């Protein structure tokens, strides 16, 4: 102990990578527990930008154990390219460990993701087209190929052959001759197996050992609560569970191994892909905030939809994750706004006021935000390093968020650099910081 889970409390892209990187400095290990290379973490350090898709954010710290847990889906082409790229940037990846039970994204998963979106037409989900959904579908259907299968040519070929058959049928209307040759694919994946063999291990046991020895372990989530397949805005969600409960399943530990859950939220909201987004800003202000916040997808380069902070959704995210702390990122992006709007409840199409997140899709799709208007501030925040130096309106904004959500704000982001961070007074007693002091 202690185990701290870091999760996205909105629709992803909240800045989890930066927070994980900051805490990783003080932790012994970082483990990713769900998602795949649909995620994109950007970490800016000493002026150099690192873009990670599969690697746990702790990889930039020499000597840390960085684990890809069993709940992650791995595209081995992306993983090996990422290892090579980090090496080129002078980063040592020898601390990487990969669960033998994690599932592999196969070439047919990518084709199926594209075909599925094409078939949905105007109702498309707007996936990252990285094969995530089809891979998790195969896992549930017990047709998945796991990391451990890459080490056994006979088993690998047999499992691919079984999984491939139904894919050929479903892809037939989309491609005359899908490039799905059993032999070629088996050889390609055996090659990946050779490349990553040195990192493959029983990662659950590794994490138990660390926790039992009193080491500090970070469980790093991808995406965000509102994209959770069970609790998000289904069907406009990803195919895994980005909520804290999944840290146990996707890393192989029990709920009592988790001490704290930190939720990361931007000072406003963004969403990529389709689906309900009650506080979306439709006018030129969204272009202005997108520009100021660099709101383009790390993975796909798509412009992110931009909205004001949604405290109905954030309270919900706090509850389903049992957040113990909030990190509010990108506060600097709001500088220069005369007024800041925040949704504290919704109005349903029938006129009812809703202060909890509606469970019914039709209600949510038609819900309109009820705004609270707060004063803005004009000062740039990028160089501020302490809470007291923030403009009074910015401090009031943070207090408003903490009060409405009922969770203390421990960290505030005022720019992309790791030094552009304010630790609040509430941070001192938290588990990851206590671990560092011990």
Nearer to ligand IMP among residue 63 and residue 301 (C-beta): 301
Shortest CB 251 distance to ligand IMP, Å: 19
Q: Find where tokens 């799905």 sit.
A: 180
| Residue 43 contacts residue 21 (beta carbons within 8 Å) | yes
Cα separation of 66 and 316, whole Å? Answer: 30
From the list 9, 23, 39, 311, which residue makes contact with ligand IMP (rule: CB under 6 A)?
39
Geometric angle at alpha carbon 98, from 94 and 103, rounded to 5°: 150
Position 20 contacts ligand IMP (CB under 6 A): no
Q: Find where tokens 């406009």 sit.
A: 236
Shortest CB 130 distance to ligand IMP, Å: 5
Shortest CB 11 distance to ligand IMP, Å: 6
Position 273 contacts ligand IMP (CB under 6 A): yes
Residues in CB range of 25: below 8 A, 6 or more apart: 61, 436
From the list 57, 65, 128, 337, which residue makes contact with ligand IMP (rule: CB under 6 A)?
128
| Residue 366 contacts residue 350 (beta carbons within 8 Å) | no
Q: Binding string to ligand IMP for residues 342 to 361, with x set by CB under 6 A, is what?
A: --------------------
Calculate Rg over the CA atoms of the chain: 22
Could you confirm whether 41 is annotated as catalytic? yes
- Spot the catalytic one: 13, 75, 138, 228: 13
Position 34 contacts ligand IMP (CB under 6 A): no
| Residue 344 contacts residue 386 (beta carbons within 8 Å) | no
Nearer to ligand IMP among residue 52 and residue 326 (C-beta): 52
Cα separation of 242 and 224, whole Å? Answer: 6
Position 38 contacts ligand IMP (CB under 6 A): yes
Position 306 contacts ligand IMP (CB under 6 A): no
Nearer to ligand IMP among residue 130 and residue 290 (C-beta): 130
Nearer to ligand IMP among residue 13 and residue 149 (C-beta): 13
Cα separation of 160 and 227, whole Å? Answer: 30
Shortest CB 223 distance to ligand IMP, Å: 5
The count of other CB atoms within 10 Å of the CB of residue 12 is: 28
Which window, 81-89, 123-131, 338-346, 368-376, contacts ligand IMP (CB under 6 A)? 123-131
Helix (H, G, I), strand (E, B) or coil at 29: strand
Position 293 contacts ligand IMP (CB under 6 A): no
Position 130 contacts ligand IMP (CB under 6 A): yes
From the list 2, 4, 5, 13, which residue makes contact with ligand IMP (rule: CB under 6 A)?
13
Q: Which residues pair with 153 in a beta bridge?
A: none
Distances (CA, A) of 97 to 303, 311, 420: 33, 37, 30
The count of other CB atoms within 10 Å of the CB of residue 138 is: 24
From the list 272, 313, 323, 409, which residue makes contact with ligand IMP (rule: CB under 6 A)?
272
Helix (H, G, I), strand (E, B) or coil at 181: coil
Cα separation of 216 and 229, whole Å? Answer: 29
Asked, as a colleague might, if the bond just before 2 is cis with ω within 30 of 0, I would say yes
Could you confirm whether 360 is annotated as catalytic? no
Taking CB atoms, the residue at the shortest distance from ligand IMP is 273
The count of other CB atoms within 10 Å of the CB of residue 173 is: 10
Position 125 contacts ligand IMP (CB under 6 A): yes
Nearer to ligand IMP among residue 227 and residue 398 (C-beta): 227
- Spot the catalytic one: 21, 28, 41, 149: 41
| Residue 244 contacts residue 258 (beta carbons within 8 Å) | yes
DSSP code string of 69-107: -TT-EE-HHHHHHHHHHHHHTT---TTEEEETTPEEP-H
Position 171 contacts ligand IMP (CB under 6 A): no
Nearer to ligand IMP among residue 101 and residue 238 (C-beta): 238
Q: Binding string to ligand IMP for residues 231 to 270, with x set by CB under 6 A, is what?
A: -----x-xx-------------------------------
271 backbone dihedrals φ, ψ, rounded to 5°: -150, 135
From the list 132, 171, 206, 390, which residue makes contact with ligand IMP (rule: CB under 6 A)?
132
Cα separation of 304 and 82, whole Å? Answer: 24
Nearer to ligand IMP among residue 35 and residue 369 (C-beta): 35
Shortest CB 57 distance to ligand IMP, Å: 13
Position 223 contacts ligand IMP (CB under 6 A): yes
Cα separation of 365 and 412, whole Å? Answer: 31
Which window, 38-46, 190-198, 314-322, 366-374, contacts ligand IMP (CB under 6 A)? 38-46
User: Which residues of this chain interact with ligand IMP, rule CB under 6 A?
Assistant: 12-13, 38-40, 125-128, 130, 132-133, 222-223, 227, 236, 238-239, 272-273
Active site residues: 13, 41
């Amino acid at each position: 102990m202690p185990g701290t889970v870091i999760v996205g409390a909105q629709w992803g892209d909240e800045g989890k990578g930066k927070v994980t990187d900051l805490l990783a400095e003080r932790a012994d290990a970082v483990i990713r527990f769900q998602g795949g290379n649909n995620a994109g973490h950007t970490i800016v350090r000493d002026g150099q930008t690192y873009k990670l898709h599969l690697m746990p954010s702790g990889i930039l710290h020499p000597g840390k154990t960085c684990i890809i847990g069993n709940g992650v889906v791995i595209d081995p082409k992306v993983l090996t390219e990422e290892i090579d790229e980090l090496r080129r940037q002078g980063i040592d990846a020898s601390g990487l460990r990969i669960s033998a039970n994690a599932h592999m994204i196969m070439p047919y998963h990518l084709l199926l993701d594209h075909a599925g979106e094409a078939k949905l037409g105007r109702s498309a989900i707007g996936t990252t087209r990285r094969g995530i959904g089809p891979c998790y579908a195969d896992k549930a259907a017990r047709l998945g190929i796991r990391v451990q299968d890459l080490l056994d040519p006979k088993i690998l070929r047999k499992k691919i052959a079984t999984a491939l058959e139904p894919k050929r049928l479903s892809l037939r209307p989309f491609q005359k001759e899908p490039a799905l040759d059993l032999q070629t694919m088996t050889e390609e994946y055996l090659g990946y197996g050779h490349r990553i063999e040195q990192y493959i291990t029983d990662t659950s046991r590794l994490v138990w050992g660390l926790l039992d020895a009193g080491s500090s372990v970070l469980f790093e989530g991808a995406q965000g609560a509102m994209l959770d397949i069970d609790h998000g805005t289904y069907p406009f969600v990803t195919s895994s569970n980005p909520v804290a409960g999944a840290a146990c399943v996707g890393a192989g530990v029990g709920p009592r191994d988790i001490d704290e859950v930190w939720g990361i939220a931007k000072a406003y909201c963004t969403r990529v892909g389709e689906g309900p987004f009650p506080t979306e800003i439709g006018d030129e202000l969204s272009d202005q905030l997108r520009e100021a916040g660099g709101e383009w997808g790390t993975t796909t380069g798509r412009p992110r939809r931009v909205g004001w902070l949604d405290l109905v959704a954030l309270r919900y995210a706090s509850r389903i994750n049992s957040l113990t702390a909030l990190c509010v990122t990108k506060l600097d992006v709001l500088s220069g706004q005369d007024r800041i709007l925040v949704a504290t409840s919704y109005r349903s199409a029938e006129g009812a006021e809703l202060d909890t997140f509606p469970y019914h899709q039709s209600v949510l799709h038609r819900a309109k935000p009820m705004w609270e208007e707060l004063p803005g501030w004009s000062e740039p925040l990028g160089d501020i390093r302490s809470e007291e130096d923030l403009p009074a309106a910015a401090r009031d904004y943070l207090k408003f968020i903490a009060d409405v959500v009922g969770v203390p704000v421990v960290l505030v982001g005022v720019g992309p650099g790791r030094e552009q961070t304010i630790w609040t007074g509430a941070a001192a007693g938290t588990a990851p910081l206590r671990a560092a002091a011990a």
